[in-house]
Amino acid sequence: MDTLKKRSEFLAVAKGGRLGRRAFVVQGLNRDSDDASRVGYTVTKKTGNSVMRSRIKRRLRAAVAELAPEDIPQKADFVLVARDSALTLPFEKIVADLKSGLSQVLDPQTPRGRGKPRRQGSQPNRNSAGNRGKSS
C-alpha cells in the first residue's frame, strides 16, 4: 500500500470520516481517482520520546502489511493517528481493529466522533467573569 507524504494529503483525509480504536484513530476519505489506496501515519510528540514513536510507527506499518488486499477498501486514503496503547496492545488486536476500522470509517452512517456536542448557551458570560473582585 502506498503512503501519504504531503501535509495537504493528510489535511484532506482529516475532513473525511473518523473512527476511534484502542491503539489508534482511523481517518478515511474516498477518492475519485483510480489509484491504489494510500495510508499515512501520525504519531504526535505527546506519545513518548522518539524511540517510542518510531516503534509505534513500525508496528502500525507492519499491521497494514499484514492485511490482505481484499481487506483494504479501494479508491480511498487513510490516516492512522497513533495512541500510547499501540505499543502495549497485542499485535493481533491491532490488525483486527485495523481490518474492521478501514471499511467502517468510510461508511457515511458512522458518526464522525468530534467529541460532545455543545449545548446552546453553554458559553460563560465574559463580562461578569472579568469584573469579579473589582469595586466600581
Say if 80 falls within a structural domain. Answer: yes
| Residue 78: φ, ψ to 5° | -135, 150
- Which CATH number belongs to the domain containing residue 31 in this structure? 3.30.230.10
Say if 125 falls within a structural domain. Answer: no
Say if 126 falls within a structural domain. Answer: no
The model carries a pTM of 0.77
Q: Helices 50-66 and 91-105, interaxial angle, to 10°?
A: 70
Starting at the edge strand found earlier in the chain, the sheet holding 17-20 runs 2-3, 38-42, 76-82, 24-30, 17-20
Say if 72 falls within a structural domain. Answer: yes
Structural domain including 53 reads: 2-107
- Tens digit of each residue's pLDDT (9 = 90 or more) over 87-106: 999 999 999 999 999 989 98
Say if 48 falls within a structural domain. Answer: yes
Say if 92 falls within a structural domain. Answer: yes
Burial class (CB in 10 A: 0-12, 13-18, 19+), 80: buried
Q: What domain count does the chain have?
A: 1
- Tens digit of each residue's pLDDT (9 = 90 or more) over 6-22: 999 999 999 988 999 99
